Amino acid sequence: QDSPLKAVQMLWVNLIMDTFASLALATEPPTEALLLRKPYGRDKPLISRTMLKNILGHAAYQLVIIFSLLFIALQRDQRPQDPRREERL
């Protein structure tokens, strides 16, 4: 079977994925309390309530910005254009 990704492409994917993972690990300095903390149980949720609030808050913020920019762009397109300007183009 032929692989869908060539060797160089797989190396690039690996480099990008490892870079993001290392940045995530490098942003929080290790502390003694973190190393001594007991592991979370199997029945604990993967995303905590605080994380969910942050995710939804950021999503709402980004949607407001995107739709605002889209609305402004649509309003600019609906304004009457100067016909002399179109002749020059």
Q: Which amino acid is at 30?
A: P
Domain count, the chain: 1
Q: Which of 84, 68, 87, 66 is nearest to 76 (CA)?
A: 68
Q: Is residue 38 part of a domain?
A: no
Residue 72: is its pLDDT beyond 80?
yes
Is 56 within a domain? Answer: yes
Is 15 inside any structural domain? yes
Measured distance CA(57)–CA(39) in Å, rounded:
28
Q: Is residue 87 part of a domain?
A: no
* Cβ-proximal residues to 34 (8 Å cutoff; 6+ apart), any chain: 28
pTM of the predicted model as reported, rounded to 2 decimal places: 0.50
Q: Tell me: the pLDDT tens digits for 14-60?
A: 898 888 888 877 787 778 887 888 888 889 888 899 999 999 999 99
Domain-located, residue 52: yes
Look at 28 and 69; give whichever has higher pLDDT. 69
pLDDT of residue 20: 83
In a domain, residue 17? The reply is yes
What confidence score (pLDDT) does residue 54 get? 96
Domain with 9, as residue range(s), is 4-31+46-77
